Structure 1
Amino acid sequence: MKTQRRIFMLRKSWLLVCLCVAMWMVGAVTVSAEEHLQVKSDMKLELDGKPLQLDESYLIDNSLFVPYRAFAEGIGAEVSYEAATQGVTVQKGGLTVHLTIGSSEAIVGGSSRMMVGPAQLINNSTFVHSRFLSEVFGIRVHYDEATRTVHLVSSGQPSENPAPKTYEITIEGFQFKGGNITVESGSTIIFTNKDKVKHNAVAENGSFKIPLLTTGESGSITLTEPGDYAYFCELHKNAMQGTITVK
C-alpha cells in the first residue's frame, strides 16, 4: 500500500509540473503574439495631396492605427475625450462618432458600426483605425505601396483656393481605364494595377516614370506644369497609351 501511494503521489507531482510548464508556455506565446501584432509604422499620410502631420502611427493586425486627436483635427473634425468612461467623440459636418477605448464598436450618427480593431491606448495616447475614421466622414483612402503613402481624398466642396485634387487611373485588362483625363495644375494622379502582370506609366517627354507595379500596387505622380502629357506602359507600349492634360 505504501508503495502504491508513493507511486500515486509521484504521478500527481509529475502532472502538476507538466501543467505548470504548459501554462507558462501558453503565457509566453500570448505575450509574444501581442508584441508581434503591434508594430510602429513608417507610412506617410497625405490629405488632398498635402502631408498630414502625426507624431507616430502603428500597424496592428496589418491595419494602420493613428492618434485620434491629431488625425481627426487634421481632417477638420472636432474631438473630445471623457476620462470617466474612456469615451472618444469626433464631430465633423454634422456627423458625430462615439468610440470607447478597448471596444471595436463605434456609434456613428446613432447607429452601431464595428471596426477592425478597438480604439486603444498606446504610450498614453488613444489610437484608432485610420481607414474607419476616414471613410465614415466620406474621405476615400488609397495606399501607394511604392512610396508607403496613404492618400486621403476628401469630398468637401471647393473653396476659394481649393487644395490640389487627386485623380485615379486603374490599370486593368491591359488598358489605362480613365487614362485620358484633364486635371488641374498641382493635381496628384494615382495609378493602380489590377492586372496579374506588371505595368507602369512613362511620359513620352520624360517628365515622369512610375516603377513597374505588381498586382494591387499603386504609384502616383504630381503634375504642376500645364500641357499635354502623353504616356504609355513600358512593357506594353503598343497596346497601352493615354494622355493627361494639365490646365
Structure 2
Amino acid sequence: MLRKSWLLVCLCVAMWMMGAVSVSAEEHQQIKSDMKLELNGKPLQLDESYLIDNSLFVPYRWFAEGIGAEVSYEASSQKVTVQKNGLTVQLTIGSSEALVGGSIHKMVGPAQLINNSTFVHSRFLSEVFGIKVQYDEATRTVHLVSNIEQSSEKPASKTYYVTIEGFQFKGGNITVEAGSTIVFTNKDKVKHNAAAENGSFKTPFLATGESGSITLTEPGDYAYYCELHKNAMQGTITVK
C-alpha cells in the first residue's frame, strides 16, 4: 500500500513538471506576423516575419538588403555581419548582445534560427543605422523612415538601448553623444514610460514588449522617471 502511494506521488510530481515545462515553452512561442513594412513609403518585401515576446523579428538578409546594407554570414561561428555607411554590426545566433562599431549593445532578444533562416529584431537593426521606426496600429504597418540625403561619409547617429524590467531602468544612467537616439523597451507586465523632469521628452506608456524612442540633440544632464512609478524608477542621461 505504501509503495502504491509513493508511486502515485511520483506520478503527480512528474505530471506537474511536464505542465510547467509546457507553460514555459508557450511563453516564448513564435507567432507568425501579418504586419507590413514600408521603407520611405515603399513596401519592403519579406517572405515572413514573427512576433516573439511582442517584438517583431524579420529575416536579417532580406531586411538588411532592403534597407541598403551589405550582409554576410559565417556558418562555423554562426555570426551575422551587416554593413552600411561605414558602420559594421555583428550579431551571433542565440545571443542578445550585438557588436556595433566595436561597442557592445543589448538587444531585446537574441538573433535566432527559424525555418533555417536567421531572424533579428527589426527595430534594433533599423535604428542602429539611423532609420526611424513608426508603427501604424490601424493598418498594422511598420513605417521605416531614413534620411535619404545623408552622405555615405557621415557616420550614422548612435542608438542606445534601455530595458525596463523589475521596475528599473536597466542601463538607464548613460552618457551619449548629441544626436543619439535612446530606445526604451518595457519587459514588465505593467505599463511604464520615461519622462524628463525638465519636460524635454516623454515616451508613450509602453505595454509589455513595446518600445519608445527619443533623440537628444542638446548637451546637458537629463533626469527622467516613470510617471506611474516615480519614486521607484528614475535615471539620468548625460548628453555630451
Separation (CA, whole Å) in 2 of partners of 1:32 and 1:136: 30
State the structure with more CA Rg: 1
Which structure 1 residue ranges, 5 or more long, are not aligned? 1-5, 160-214, 217-247
Q: Which whole-Å CA distance do the structure 1 matches of 2:17 and 2:68 have between them?
A: 48
CA RMSD in angstroms comes to 1.9
Residues 182-221 of structure 1 correspond to what in structure 2 (within 5 A)? none
Q: Deviations over 1:105-153 (max 9, x none)?
A: 1010011101111111111100100000000000000011111111111
Q: State which of 82, 86, 90 in structure 2 corresponds to 1:94.
A: 86
Amino acid at match of 2:17: M
Cα distance between partner residues in 1 of 2:35 and 2:140: 5
- Opposite residue 8 of structure 2, the aligned amino acid is W
User: Which stretch of the first structure deviates more once superposed, 134-143 or 15-24?
Assistant: 15-24
Superposed, 1:132-143 pairs within 5 Å as 132-143=124-135
Identical amino acids, percent of aligned pairs = 70
TM-score, structure 2 as length reference: 0.60
Partner SS for 2:119: strand
Alpha-carbon distance in structure 1 between the residues aligned to 2:6 and 2:150? 76
Question: 1:39 and 2:50 equivalent?
Answer: no
Equivalent residue number for residue 52 of structure 1: 44
Q: Which position in structure 2 is the counterpart of 1:75?
A: 67
- Residue type matched to 1:138 in 2? G
Mapping of residues 124-203 of structure 1, within 5 Å: 124-157=116-149
2:99 pairs with 97, 102, 107, which one? Answer: 107
User: Is residue 2:7 matched to residue 1:13?
Assistant: yes
The equivalent of 1:84 in structure 2 is 76
Letter in 1 for 2:38: E
The separation in 1 between residues aligned to 2:94 and 2:114, in whole angstroms, is 11
Distance 1:69 1:58 in 2: 15
Instruction: State the 1:158 CA deviation.
Output: 6.7
Unaligned segments of structure 2, at least 5 residues: 152-204, 207-240
1:28 aligned to 2:13?
Answer: no
Could you list the structure 1 runs, at least 4 aligned residues long, displaced by more than 6 angstroms after superposition. Answer: none
> What are the superposed Cα offsets for residues 22-73 of structure 1, whole Å, 9 maximum, x if unpaired?
1221222233333xx3111111111111111111111111111111000000
Deviations 1:189-245 (A, max 9, x none): xxxxxxxxxxxxxxxxxxxxxxxxxx99xxxxxxxxxxxxxxxxxxxxxxxxxxxxx
The aligned residue for residue 110 of structure 2 is 118
Mapped to 2, the partners of 1:139 and 1:38 lie a distance apart of 25
State how far apart, in whole Å, the 1-side matches of 2:14 and 2:56 are: 37
SS at match of 2:88: strand
Q: CA shift at 1:104, angstroms?
A: 0.6
* Counterparts of 1:63 and 1:13, CA distance in 2: 44
Secondary structure at the aligned position of 1:141 is classed as strand
